[in-house]
Structure 1
């Protein structure tokens, strides 16, 4: 399979180098091209809203509340910054969508207040874009990224729902993956679609 490029004006670049050149990557490129370029599917920038569930989607599943109470920026065991424990492919995805005129919201539930200081810096979004629930978001999202059954509600409405399936690890199977074909959601198989996950060492053991 050849190299996948996202064409912007006269320049052709790959904004997702940590993603393999698979159907999943191309479908995301096609969707973004359709809503950002003139045509019947075009959506004005103010209406390009994308949601990301937090743990499991942007970074590994981890109970952060207690750790964040000690230090809102660093893991108390490893001493590493939480920003360094974000999935590289998802960091690239957030940057790509922001550059394409999307407004990014991170839906973090009860941990929203705790993660807001470092998450807003890491993903270069305003603090108010790290929210507890979808109800806090003005407007209707057109795209959503999730990874667990608990995130199912975020997929109601967006034109493109993306389910991150952690087939690269001993993760518990999620029903949302089984529902994806009939709902038209895109499944990102981490073992197949990502070149790498974390930028360095794996998530620290607690």
Structure 2
């Protein structure tokens, strides 16, 4: 009797530790059989599905909720089909939680037995919202930098060229030449235009943290 308890206890402890491990992560984990039934899942997955559908899902349930939630079904039916055909891949899904857009990277991996048959799909999801926001900020910065480069290479070039041209017309040998005043007025106007453009560049640079 004692030997039997000694043999069974480690298995029970291992199963308990495994369940504790998968439920102590904030990332959804789940395992689906060839009939789309949930073989195993953690609490994070149940919460994740509830955010998507408003439905509760547990071990033994159909992972596609028997097609009862069209948006959820459309998002994932093809994913499970591809994974069960042997494909290993990742998708990015979006959902709105409490009015805020969230993005999740979902990995699908077929589980293959010793004979080469796909017997299940192992799935893992991770919230990548902050990563996507970071990429979006970088894209915004790059767009602003391209605009700054355009300003510097086109809008600044015009006034500078005008100033250089006016300077060549300035009569240094006869400072009382009436044209000198017009030339200086033109240079002053171009200088003011340049000041406006430079202020715009500085403002844009400050906005993107350059």
Report the TM range for the smaller structure's normalisation. Answer: under 0.3
Which structure has the higher relative contact order (CA within 8 Å, separation 6+)?
Answer: 1
TM-score normalised by structure 2 residue count: 0.22
Higher-Rg structure is 2
